[in-house]
Chains A and B, each alone.
Chain A
Amino acid sequence: EPEVTQTPSHQVTQMGQEVILRCVPISNHLYFYWYRQILGQKVEFLVSFYNNEISEKSEIFDDQFSVERPDGSNFTLKIRSTKLEDSAMYFCASGDRDPDFGPGTRLTVT
């Protein structure tokens, strides 16, 4: 059964550095999502992407965040200048309507 995959599984970075989190959605899905979960807190919606553009985004998804689908398979989340509070588990998801989630990337900002 096809699955959403994410790399890396764990990323450690210094405050102020840029990070790119990578996702390979399920191939025939049309909608792509990023969610994050700060340790012990809710799973929070960041952004959805459809037809090569952002369809919805939350208040969390500010100018330091960007998403891209650079080719036919990858879907990336870039954080330009990481802050300590960006430390979280980041989940990619894809779906036709209701999302299937990847295993997540744990981002640790030191």
Chain B
Amino acid sequence: AQSVAQPEDQVNVAEGNPLTVKCTYSVSGNPYLFWYVQYPNRGLQFLLKYITGDNLVKGSYGFEAEFNKSQTSFHLKKPSALVSDSALYFCAVRDTGGSYIPTFGRGTSLIVHP
């Protein structure tokens, strides 16, 4: 079985400050991990994914995420937040030994204040 948890419903950060959106996962085997972003009235847009290799993954719009196997986490980060980063962020996981169907978290609303 595979599952993912996003412990924060909402994250508030001031523009220019670093941001972190948390995600932890559970899989039987090895994980493929994803972050998606949803802007208002838009679909889920792919940000980045971890498959293997370097634990720090860089993605779109200056975002990055760090895979931590011991803590089973894949937190999304950005060094300097923009107001335009305000959106709903979803973490997803799938087991490399399982189906191609990713399991999503419930999402975290990121609000960046000017």
Interface on A for B, CB 8 Å cutoff? 3-4, 6, 9, 31, 33, 35, 40-45, 48, 56, 91, 93, 97-104
Does B105 contact A101, Cβ atoms closer than 8 Å? no
Q: A43-B44, A91-B43, A91-B44 in contact; A98/B34 too (CB < 8 A)?
A: yes
Q: Which of A41, A56, A104 contacts B99 (CB 8 A)?
A: A56
**CA–CA, A35 to B92, complex, Å?**
13
Q: Return chain B residues, CB-CB under 8 Å to A41.
A: 106
Number of A-B contacts defined by CB within 8 Å: 50
Interface residues of B in 43-59 (CB under 8 A from A): 43-46, 49
| B43→A102 contact, CB < 8 A | yes
Chain B contacts of A43 at CB under 8 A?
Answer: 44, 90, 92, 104-107
Give residues in B with beta carbon < 8 Å to A: 32, 34, 36, 41-46, 49, 90, 92, 99-107
Q: A99 contacts B102, CB within 8 Å?
A: yes
Specify the chain A residue showing the minimal Cβ separation from B4.
Answer: A42
Q: Which residues from B are CB-within-8-Å of A9?
A: 41
Partner of A45, one of B43, B101, B106: B101
Tell me, in angstroms, the Cα distance from A62 to B63 when the chains sit together. Answer: 38
Q: Is A97 touching B44 in the complex (CB atoms < 8 A)?
A: no
Which B residues lie within 8 Å of A48 (CB)? Answer: 100-101
Q: Provide the bound-state CA to CA distance between A103 and B40, in Å.
A: 9
- In the complex, the 3 A-B pairs of residues with the closest C-beta atoms, listed nearest first: A43-B104, A101-B44, A103-B43
Q: Are A98 and B43 in contact (CB under 8 A)?
A: no
Knowing A43-B90, A43-B107, the reply to whether A101 touches B45 (Cβ < 8 A) is: yes
A98 touches B49 (CB 8 A): yes
Complex interface: chain A residues within 8 A of B42 (CB): 103
Assess whether A31 is in contact with B100, with CB atoms less than 8 Å apart.
yes
The answer for the CA separation of A4 and B90 in the assembled complex, in Å, is: 18
